[in-house]
Amino acid sequence: MVAVRDEEWGRVVSEVQLRPELADGLLGIEQFSHVVVLFVMHQARFDAVTHLTRRPRDRPDMPLVGTFAQRARHRPSPIGVTTAELKRVEGASLFVRGLDAIDGTPVLDVKPHVPAFDCPGHARVPEWMSRLMEGYF
């Protein structure tokens, strides 16, 4: 199993490879600054005793919260979703920054990020989440 860390994904540039026959489906995607990537966290293993409640990134300065109140990889459902910055498109590949998935992760879908759908107005997050994200990007 690949060792992974729950931090600094904001600096990582990843290649999302689609099947070659799907390349034409990317036509026009380069006009968007960001894409939403839906994927399977294929190496995550959920254990309710260990993962149902935990401190985000196992940091002692973070509160104890449930798995549904954080973005941890070990979840009851291994489905991941991330909005990532689209850097460029080459053939059937997207190059994105900030995708929190490890090498070899199966991608289920890619959609353009549309603020009207993806950024609800007046969103609220707890204070600890702001601290957790400091320096992430």
We report the CATH number of the domain holding residue 94 as 2.40.30.70
Q: What is the pLDDT of residues 39-51, one digit of tens each?
A: 999 988 888 999 9
**80 or 5, greater pLDDT:** 80
Q: What is the pLDDT of residues 75-133, one digit of tens each?
A: 899 999 999 999 999 999 999 999 988 899 999 999 999 999 998 888 899 999 989 88
**Domains identified in the chain, total number:** 1
91 within some domain: yes
What pTM was computed for the model? 0.84
In this model, does residue 63 exceed pLDDT 70? yes
Cα dihedral 134, 71, 92, 3 sign: positive
In this structure, the number of other CB atoms found within 10 A of the CB of residue 64 comes to 9
16 within some domain: yes
User: What is the per-residue pLDDT for 4?
Assistant: 46
58 within some domain: no
The domain in which residue 24 lies consists of: 12-42+78-116
